[in-house]
Amino acid sequence: MQTTNFILEEEILVLENMETLDVIKLVAPLIFMQLALSIYCIVNIIKKGTRTLNKTIWLLIVIIPNTVTALAYLLLGKKRWEDD
C-alpha cells in the first residue's frame, strides 16, 4: 500500500510542476476526440434523424454538456494558487 501512495505523490508532483502548455499538450488528444465525436453525432442527427425524442433535444444533449468547455475553464479560466 505504501508503494501506491508513493506513486500517487510522485504523479501529483509531476502535475504540479507542469506548465500550461504542457497540460494542453497532454489533453489535446482527448479534446480532439471529444470534438470529433460531437461533430459526428451532430451530423448523424441532422442527416439520419433519431429513434427517440426529436432532433432538437438530441442536439442540445450532444452540444451543451460538452467536456471541452470544462477543460477550457480548468486550463485557462481557473484561478491558480499563485494568483491569490
Domains of the chain, residue spans: 19-78
- Gap between the Cα atoms of 58 and 66, Å rounded: 13
**What pLDDT shows up at residue 3?**
53
**What pLDDT shows up at residue 40?**
92
**Grid coordinates belonging to 70:** 470544462
**What pLDDT shows up at residue 31?**
83
Nearest to residue 68, comparing CAs of 35, 39, 29?
35
pLDDT tens per residue across all 84 residues of the chain: 455 555 556 656 666 677 778 888 888 898 899 889 889 998 999 999 888 889 998 888 888 766 666 666 667 666 666 654
Report the predicted TM-score, pTM, of the whole model to 2 decimal places: 0.57
